Chain A
Amino acid sequence: MSLYKETLMKHFRDPQFKRELTNYQEMEDGVNPSCGDNITLYLNKNDNIIEEISFTGNGCAISMASADILCSIITKTTDPKAVILEFIQMITGGDITFKDDLEVLNVFKEMQNFPARRSCAILPWKTLEKVLS
């Protein structure tokens, strides 16, 4: 299955950020009503720059891998809102290719061919968007 690339499965099987932060400033829940997938983000931020982030939750491989990958790259960005926007644009068909530190996000480009699963990949990103809005 082309969607389940090795990188994605690695993040699903062996997530590095799936835990509750011991000290966090903010927490946000996200739920995907169609499948019951749920996620909680824990984070510390300075203005809109995310300094530390983790997640817990239950869901499919796509949503859990997406959450782990989000956590792995988002602290390295100076404009997380812009990354969220670009990620969602890419998932929904936009011609966006990520470079350098965000390159791993390209693994989700395949989602364009799986419209039924877009909401799974987007769930953690929408949850983060709520925190930053």
Chain B
Amino acid sequence: MTDIFPLLNNEFIYFDAAATNLKPNSVIEAQSRYYTDYGLNIGRGSSLLNYKSSDIIENIRVRTAEFIGSTNPNELVFTSNATDSINIVAQGYVKNRVKKNSNIVITMLEHHSNYVPWINLAKEMDIECRIIPLDGYSLDYSYIDKYIDENTIITSVTGMSNITGEVTDLTPFITRCREKGSKILVDAAQLIGHKRVNVTDLDIDFLVFSAHKLFGPFGLGFLYGKFKNLEEITPTRFGGNMVSYINNLTHIHYREIPRRLESGTQNPGAIFAFDAVLDFLEIYKIEDNEKKLIQLSSYLLDRLKSIPGLIIYSEIGSIISFNIIGVHPHDASDFFDNKNIVVRTGNLCASPFFTNLEQSGVVRVSLGIYNNKNEIDRLIDTIIEIKEFFL
């Protein structure tokens, strides 16, 4: 795997795929190749090279839309990350639909990206933001019918928890949204690397994700929306490239969707590298990767369960969070770091989950396709060492 993922040459064990997945050489090289072979801005200029650069990027838009099951590339907006995408929907779409009794529905499993924009909007517009609670460490689905009603403008739900690895059963959410007229936004930031998502089959209104959690570059995100929904978004950022022309110095004619929502200079190097991600996923298929990760996580979970004095927050899945009773996660982190093991500790940018449980944080092990059993054994040895030191 060091041939494929150059960062692994640093001889650390990387258990933080949920924060960002390592980048394959092919992706890193593609980003560099854009600047070497094309290098120009897109959507501007009239040279042949300008034209080629823009054409390549638009083809990647087509390919990315197909990747998530959309046949209309204009339903895919390039953004800077999943958070950016959610903010566009919150401020450009939902805000315009607020009425006196409106509400927004989210869940207790959300990370801050899919929490803060909604809480902020609810406060700004003086409406209710309902948070579907947990049953133990999992979503309590019995609240769906209670919380999503005819006044719900949007239901925004994670596709996979970055804390517990729980994959959300989207069907009851979407069914209820269709019954009551709520739009559904799926935050696929975590899910996208683990499960193929088909927005058409699932009838999803908005889907957001970032490239970097899918072996891709930083600084690139995506907003999928049904075309009609995207057309109804008011731009929240204004400037160059989104405008077709201005007459009488004040009358601004905006470009068509999706360009209307892509103001300013885009990140063509990252988009070009994402094409290499899609190539990579044709060889290392998401479904096959996930099968391997589930087998590995089963081994991890068995070994963790064999150690007394742990609280484990996850069932089977490639993200396992736990606490060593009596040891603060950040103290544990030093010991892992000392062994060149990279785990994530703390509140994982998902403090509502922890506030609810009255915990300050966890140790999270999130597996990637580059991990193996031997690495898990070293993790377990370190946990035993931590326990011996602190307890």
Contact = CB atoms under 8 A, between A and B. Distances in A.
Contacts, number: 46
Main secondary structure of the interface of B (DSSP, over half): helix
A6 to B, nearest CB: 12
A36 B333 contact: no
- 6 closest A-B pairs by beta carbon, nearest first, are A36-B360, A60-B328, A60-B330, A35-B346, A60-B331, A61-B331
Interface of B: 328-331, 333-335, 337-338, 345-347, 351, 354, 360-361, 389-390
Given A4-B389, A59-B328, A60-B328, A36 B361 contact: yes
Contacts of A1: 334-335, 338, 389
Given A1-B338, A4-B389, A59-B360, A36 B346 contact: yes
B357 to A, nearest CB: 11
A36 B347 contact: yes
Interface residues of A, number: 17
A61 B331 CA distance: 7
A27 to B, nearest CB: 21
Nearest to B332: A60
Contact of A35 (B334, B347, B390): B347
Interface stretch (A15-23, A99-107, A114-122): A114-122
Given A4-B331, A35-B347, A61-B390, 19 more contacts: A1-B389, A34-B346, A35-B328, A35-B330, A35-B346, A36-B351, A36-B354, A36-B361, A37-B328, A37-B330, A38-B360, A58-B360, A59-B328, A60-B328, A61-B328, A61-B331, A62-B330, A116-B333, A117-B334
A121 to B, nearest CB: 11
Contacts of B330: 35, 37, 60, 62, 117, 120
